[in-house]
Amino acid sequence: MILRATTRVCHSYTVVQPRGPGGTPKAPKFERDIRARVMIPANARPAHKRLRQKLAEIGEWNETCSLNRVVPGDKKLGIITSGISFMHAAKPRRTRACSKLGFTHPLPMKKDRRVCQKRETVHRY
């Protein structure tokens, strides 16, 4: 698998406006929490467990996320891609089956596995 982060994405920046539910602006606030922010071994172990739990929850959500979609096509070739690579992969032959990932971390492994099982050959871009 290749994860391709483009230069434009890596070198971009912008001002972020915090928003609450419904898109209403909210004032930023800072909470002093040494255990959550200073990663000495005693703090890192519980933080790592919390991170793993969050990633598992996000992974489950990502399996049904509408940002990831499958474009039906040829039964022989399947392409798993995201971003501009999707346009490059889909453009030459519109008959290609593509799995377009809009949310790539953590990867939707179950969805990708279903796409792979239906194809003879799978390319990941």
pLDDT tens digits, residue range 77-123? 777 888 888 777 766 666 667 778 888 888 888 877 777 777 777 66
The residues, any chain, with a CB within 8 Å of residue 79's CB and separated by 6 or more, are: 89, 90, 96, 97, 98, 99, 122, 123, 124, 125
pLDDT for 48 equals 92
Give CA–CA dist 75/12, Å, rounded.
Answer: 38
Read off the pLDDT of each residue in 23-31 and give the average, rounded to a whole number: 80
Check whether 5 has a pLDDT greater than 80. no
Q: How confident is the model at residue 46 (pLDDT cuts 50, 70, 90)?
A: very high
Residue that wins the pLDDT comparison between 46 and 28: 46
Question: Of 53-57, 71-75, 92-96, 100-104, which has the strongest mean pLDDT?
Answer: 53-57
Please say whether the beta carbons of 114 and 108 come within 8 A.
no
Give CA–CA dist 51/49, Å, rounded.
Answer: 5
Residue that wins the pLDDT comparison between 20 and 48: 48
Tell which residue, 91, 104, 99, 100, has the closest CA to residue 119: 99
- Locate all alpha helices (DSSP H) within the chain, ordered by sequence: 7-10, 34-37, 41-63, 84-90, 109-117
Please say whether the beta carbons of 99 and 79 come within 8 A.
yes
Task: Quote the pTM value.
Answer: 0.60
